[in-house]
């Protein structure tokens, strides 16, 4: 999921990105937000999410560790 969040993305688009149900996407986003890997921004009725610097660093660590 972190790979898809290189820019701010509406929460309504996340289930399609992950091919999962909306409640499952919400559950995963809550866990990632709690870990500080994504942040949520509410604008009116729309919630958007994006990767944090910590999330960027985690992806970089996986990229350098891959064979």
Sequence spans of domains, the chain: 2-65
Mean residue pLDDT of the chain comes to 92
Span 34-66, pLDDT tens digits: 999 999 999 999 999 999 999 999 999 988 876
Question: What CATH code would you report for 2-65?
Answer: 1.10.10.10
What's the predicted TM-score (pTM) here?
Answer: 0.85
Using CA atoms, how far residue 44 sits from 4, 13, 16, 41, 48, in Å, is 23, 17, 22, 10, 11
The predicted structure's pLDDT at residue 67: 66
Q: State how far the Cα of 43 lies from the Cα of 31, in Å rounded to an integer.
A: 21
Cβ distance 39 to 50 under 8 Å?
A: yes
Q: State how far the Cα of 49 lies from the Cα of 42, in Å rounded to an integer.
A: 9
Of residues 67 and 1, the one with the higher pLDDT is 1
- Residue with the two structure tokens 């409640």: 23
The predicted structure's pLDDT at residue 1: 87
């Amino acid at each position: 999921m972190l790979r898809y969040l290189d820019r701010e993305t509406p929460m309504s688009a996340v289930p399609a990105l992950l091919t999962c149900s909306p409640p499952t996407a919400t559950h995963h986003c809550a866990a990632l937000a709690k870990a500080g890997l994504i942040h949520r921004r509410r604008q009116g009725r729309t919630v958007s999410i994006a990767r944090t610097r910590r999330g960027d660093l985690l992806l970089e660590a996986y990229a350098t560790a891959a064979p």
